[in-house]
Amino acid sequence: SQATDPTTPDIAEKSQLMRRSDVRNIAIVAHVDHGKTTLVDSMLKQAKVFRDNQFVQERIMDSNDLERERGITILSKNTSITYKDTKVNIIDTPGHSDFGGEVERILNMVEGVLLVVDSVEGPMPQTRFVLKKALEFGHAVVVVVNKIDRPSARPDYVVNSTFELFIELNASDEQCDFQAIYASGIKGKAGLSPDNLAEDLGPLFESIIRCIPGPCIDRDGALQMLVTNIEYDEHKGRIAIGRLHAGFLRRGLDVRVCTSEDSCRYARITELFVYEKFNRVPTDRVEAGDICAVCGIDDVQIGETIADKISGRPLPAIKVEEPTVKMA
Ligand code: GDP
């Protein structure tokens, strides 16, 4: 159940569930070359300027920045950008093929989607698959008509054909009523109308925060985190990634790892990370609603639930085939 006003934390039907207003989890969907990497880069640069608390130290260039300097564009799978006081976790989605339910797993971690569409080309068949899944999940979509600076841009055509695609994919009335944002990632400008762009990406950030609800969480509930992805690090071993559904995690915590209702084992969280810009950064504690990465569970598998040591129960597995609702 989605709250009507995502900007204010409110109590959902189940009394212990509430929406976090200071976090947004979004998946980014784009056809190759439609400008996803450039756009995220600009968002990242500008977020520094928008940022209210300045105690965050500027860091020296990290290896990703260096790679970018050399002209290799890589969009990390997980990125986070802080706009004013809201943390926006951005998860990249694979363009056209689904590797063993990867798209579903990503969509299960987020509440909305940023669909980036080239202002000349319009929606391409390769983005259709991911969009279809996102709509099935019931996610809100913000459509970014990107590269609006191109002389041959045809924003009306692009918005109309995107709308037709939504209809074809059986989007709900609410989903069809999407916010279109016109942007030039390269110039770092965005606006609600193609003829009236702001000098920054502020309108894009504002739309994300307004149109995509914050994560619905059970803050006081027992720890539950569905492992939706695994990364492998030479030194750290298997790193489990997912969104914290309920409770909190801290470094050193003993947890129950549930494979199913009647199969579990125990482990200790040795390291804990959140995403900041393009990096995993260590942290001592993570609250429900945020996306994090944990070390210490050697044999952890996708689909397992990291849960409270004593009362921990598994979360429902992500259904891969039929349309699903993300939260019970
Ligand atoms: P991605 O494959 O979606 O990540 O696309 P990139 O961000 O790598 O951009 C693909 C190409 O489009 C590059 O040559 C960019 O310089 C160019 N590009 C990206 N954003 C814009 C934009 O806002 N306007 C114009 N005119 N070109 C852009």
Chain CA centroid to CA 112, Å: 7
Ligand 1, residues at Cβ distance < 6 Å: 30, 32-38, 73, 146-147, 149-150, 184-186
User: What separation in Å is there between the alpha carbon of 35 and the centre of ligand 1?
Assistant: 4
User: What separation in Å is there between the alpha carbon of 194 and the centre of ligand 1?
Assistant: 18
Question: If you average pLDDT over residues 173-177, what whole number do you get?
Answer: 97
Which token pair is 313? Answer: 């129960």
Helix (H) or strand (E) holding 16: none
User: What separation in Å is there between the alpha carbon of 205 and the centre of ligand 1?
Assistant: 19
Query: Would you say the pTM of this structure is higher than 0.95?
Result: no
Ligand 1: residue whose CA is nearest its atom 17 = 35
What does the pLDDT read at residue 101?
76
What does the pLDDT read at residue 69?
46
Q: Which atom number of ligand 1 is nearest to the Cα of residue 185?
A: 23
User: What separation in Å is there between the alpha carbon of 39 and the centre of ligand 1?
Assistant: 8
Q: pLDDT tens for residues 293-318?
A: 999 999 999 889 999 999 888 888 77
SS3 116: strand
CB 212 within 8 A of CB 137: no
User: What separation in Å is there between the alpha carbon of 75 and the centre of ligand 1?
Assistant: 13
Ligand 1: residue whose CA is nearest its atom 15 = 35
The ipTM (two decimal places) reads 0.99
What does the pLDDT read at residue 213?
96
Q: Which residue has the tokens 């965005």?
A: 190
Ligand 1: residue whose CA is nearest its atom 19 = 35
pLDDT interval class at 129 (50, 70, 90): confident
Q: Which atom number of ligand 1 is nearest to the Cα of residue 38?
A: 7
Q: What percent of the chain has pLDDT over 90?
A: 61
For a substitution probing ligand 1, which of 28, 29, 32, 33 has the most ligand atoms within 8 Å of its CB? 33
Residue 66 phi/psi, 5-degree rounding, is -65, -40
The Cα–Cα gap between 40 and 275 comes to 14
Q: pLDDT tens for residues 254-282?
A: 999 999 888 999 999 999 999 887 778 99
Strands 291-295 and 271-276: antiparallel
Q: pLDDT tens for residues 25-80?
A: 999 999 989 999 899 989 988 887 665 433 333 333 344 554 444 433 445 578 88
For a substitution probing ligand 1, which of 36, 38, 201 has the most ligand atoms within 8 Å of its CB? 38
Q: Look at the alpha carbons of 273, 275, 281, 283 in this order and tell me if their dihedral is positive or negative.
A: negative
Nearest to 184 by CA among 194, 174, 171, 173: 194
* Mean pLDDT taken over the chain: 84
The Cα–Cα gap between 76 and 55 comes to 25
Which token pair is 231? Answer: 């990364």
Stronger pLDDT, 59 or 229, i.e. the higher one: 229
Share in percent of the chain as helix, strand, coil (round to 5): 20, 35, 45
Instruction: Please say if the pLDDT value at position 228 is more than 80.
Output: yes
User: What separation in Å is there between the alpha carbon of 193 and the centre of ligand 1?
Assistant: 20
Q: What percent of the chain has pLDDT over 70?
A: 82
Q: Which atom number of ligand 1 is nearest to the Cα of residue 32?
A: 2
User: What separation in Å is there between the alpha carbon of 214 and the centre of ligand 1?
Assistant: 29
Chain CA centroid to CA 168, Å: 25
User: What separation in Å is there between the alpha carbon of 153 and the centre of ligand 1?
Assistant: 14
CB 175 within 8 A of CB 140: yes
pLDDT interval class at 127 (50, 70, 90): confident
Ligand 1: residue whose CA is nearest its atom 24 = 147
- Number of helices (H), then strands (E), in the chain: 7, 20
Instruction: Please say if the pLDDT value at position 14 is more than 60.
Output: no
Q: Look at the alpha carbons of 261, 267, 268, 274 in this order and tell me if their dihedral is positive or negative.
A: negative
Ligand 1: residue whose CA is nearest its atom 6 = 35
